[in-house]
């Protein structure tokens, strides 16, 4: 079964072809980072307009790369939420319309299920059940995953997501959007011991997170500093240390609580090297997607779409997208 996956929930137009027998055939994406950078964050209307411009040429590109025709497709999966509604409507509308004309199923995919299953695109895949840490620009959640479609939230953030904390801290110290990779890069030349950032909610029981305080801490630390380049790097390093250590502490707790042997990390922040290194020291088998599949991509949507189709999920003719909501 050949599936086309389409992802347009935020600032990446991404498409991929996944074959149930052969695996991933082709994938490509267009990042809107440079379009939004001068505004310091994603401008929803500009995102939608750019998805419209890019989506059809990208679909043609993956089909050409796979030496396939539209008529070879058996189904089309698309992200139907959560995300920016205007942006989601582009992918959903295009996916639904192509599926309609080809008379094949369209499959709505929850963006977070896509991220959670992204490690399944690698050679070494986790076995159920596992604990999953989903860390992106909009989410910080721990899940108990018992099977495809069985996702139970163990812990969530009470305020900002960890990716959001990276992005906001980056802004405070004058780094461009998106801040996560910028903070990580600058932290390499910083001394993480020069400042001690709080590790929110680690000194009390539970699996909840709270990252809004880190950004505030970064702000006051920066305001009261000498504002040198070295100080900037030191703040980036100390922030990253506290954020990743907090995630590690909660992962350890979740593994203990569930008794599961495997930990999956996914979402944009799972690209972070320090986080990966810290989690690798836990007494568990660690699984994560290749770097390009940590952030938004079409491959995870095609794969999650296939798994949804196998569970009998297909889209109605009336197209539905949503801004917020659990898997």
Residues that bind Zn ion (CB under 5 A): 136, 296
**Closer residue to Zn ion (CB): 64 or 323:** 323
Q: Which residue has the tokens 């440079």?
A: 34
**Closer residue to ligand KG4 (CB): 99 or 301:** 301
Report the partner that residue 138 touches, choosing among ligand KG4, Zn ion, none (CB closer than 5 to 8 A by kind): ligand KG4
| Closest by Cα among 173, 158, 203, 178 to 269 | 178
Report the partner that residue 50 touches, choosing among Zn ion, ligand KG4, none (CB closer than 5 to 8 A by kind): none
Establish whether the linkage from the previous residue to 82 is cis, with ω within 30° of 0: yes
Q: Shortest gap between Cβ of 192 and ligand KG4 (angstroms)?
A: 15
Report the partner that residue 163 touches, choosing among ligand KG4, Zn ion, none (CB closer than 5 to 8 A by kind): ligand KG4
**Closer residue to ligand KG4 (CB): 7 or 258:** 7
Distance (Å, rounded) from C-alpha 110 to C-alpha 104? Answer: 20
**Closer residue to ligand KG4 (CB): 292 or 320:** 292
Report phi then psi at 286, rounded to 5.
-105, 135
Q: Shortest gap between Cβ of 136 and Zn ion (angstroms)?
A: 5
Sheet holding 130-135, edge to edge: 150-155, 140-147, 130-135, 262-266, 285-287
**Closer residue to Zn ion (CB): 136 or 169:** 136
Q: Shortest gap between Cβ of 296 and Zn ion (angstroms)?
A: 4
Report the partner that residue 244 touches, choosing among ligand KG4, Zn ion, none (CB closer than 5 to 8 A by kind): none
Q: Give the DSSP letter of residue 293.
A: G
Report the partner that residue 79 touches, choosing among ligand KG4, Zn ion, none (CB closer than 5 to 8 A by kind): none
Q: Shortest gap between Cβ of 13 and ligand KG4 (angstroms)?
A: 13
Paired tokens of 33: 């980072």
Report the partner that residue 178 touches, choosing among Zn ion, ligand KG4, none (CB closer than 5 to 8 A by kind): ligand KG4
Site residues for ligand KG4 per CB under 6 A: 10, 136-138, 163, 166-167, 178-181, 184, 267-269, 271-272, 295-296
**Closer residue to ligand KG4 (CB): 31 or 314:** 31
Q: Phi-psi region for residue 132, left (φ > 0), alpha (ψ -120 to 50) or beta?
A: beta
**Closer residue to Zn ion (CB): 66 or 268:** 268
Distance (Å, rounded) from C-alpha 180 to C-alpha 240? Answer: 9
Q: Shortest gap between Cβ of 294 and ligand KG4 (angstroms)?
A: 7
Report phi then psi at 145, rounded to 5.
-110, 110
**Closer residue to Zn ion (CB): 157 or 231:** 157
Distance (Å, rounded) from C-alpha 109 to C-alpha 307? Answer: 10
Q: Which alpha helices (DSSP H) does the chain contain, by range? A: 33-37, 44-65, 85-102, 111-117, 162-172, 179-187, 212-223, 229-258, 273-280, 298-310
Q: Shortest gap between Cβ of 226 and ligand KG4 (angstroms)?
A: 26
Provide Rg for the chain, Cα atoms: 20
Report the partner that residue 272 touches, choosing among ligand KG4, Zn ion, none (CB closer than 5 to 8 A by kind): ligand KG4
Q: Shortest gap between Cβ of 141 and ligand KG4 (angstroms)?
A: 12
CB atoms within 10 A of CB 129: 17
Q: Shortest gap between Cβ of 159 and Zn ion (angstroms)?
A: 19
Give the DSSP H/E element, type plus range, for residue 5: strand 2-7
Report the partner that residue 166 touches, choosing among Zn ion, ligand KG4, none (CB closer than 5 to 8 A by kind): ligand KG4
């Amino acid at each position: 079964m050949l599936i086309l996956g389409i992802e347009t929930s935020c600032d990446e137009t991404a498409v991929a072809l996944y074959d149930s027998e052969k695996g991933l055939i082709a994938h490509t994406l267009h990042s809107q980072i440079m379009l939004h950078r001068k505004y310091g964050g994603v401008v929803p209307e500009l995102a939608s307009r750019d998805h419209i411009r890019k989506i059809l040429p990208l679909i043609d590109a993956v089909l050409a790369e796979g030496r396939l025709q539209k008529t070879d497709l058996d189904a089309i999966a698309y992200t139907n939420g959560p995300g920016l509604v205007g942006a989601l409507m582009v992918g959903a509308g295009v996916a639904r319309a192509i599926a309609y004309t080809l008379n094949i199923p369209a499959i709505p995919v929850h963006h977070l299920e896509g991220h959670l299953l992204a490690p399944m695109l690698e050679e070494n895949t986790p076995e159920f059940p596992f604990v999953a840490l989903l860390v992106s620009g909009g989410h910080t959640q721990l899940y108990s995953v018992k099977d495809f479609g069985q996702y139970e939230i163990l812990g969530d953030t009470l305020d900002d997501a960890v990716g959001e904390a990276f992005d906001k801290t980056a802004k405070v110290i004058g780094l461009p959007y998106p801040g996560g990779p910028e903070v990580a890069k600058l932290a390499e030349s910083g001394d993480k011991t020069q400042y001690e950032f709080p590790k929110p909610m680690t000194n009390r029981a539970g699996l909840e997170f709270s990252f809004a305080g880190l950004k505030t801490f970064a702000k006051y630390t920066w305001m009261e500093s000498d504002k040198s380049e070295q100080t900037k790097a030191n703040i980036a390093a100390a922030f990253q240390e506290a954020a990743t250590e907090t995630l590690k502490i909660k992962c350890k707790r979740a593994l203990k609580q569930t008794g599961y042997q495997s930990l999956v990390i996914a979402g944009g922040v799972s690209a972070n090297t320090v986080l990966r290194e810290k989690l690798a020291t836990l007494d568990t088998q660690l699984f994560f997607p290749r770097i390009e599949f940590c952030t938004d991509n079409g491959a995870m949507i095609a794969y999650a779409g296939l798994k949804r189709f196998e569970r009998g999920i297909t889209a109605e003719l009336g197209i539905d997208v949503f801004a917020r909501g659990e898997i």
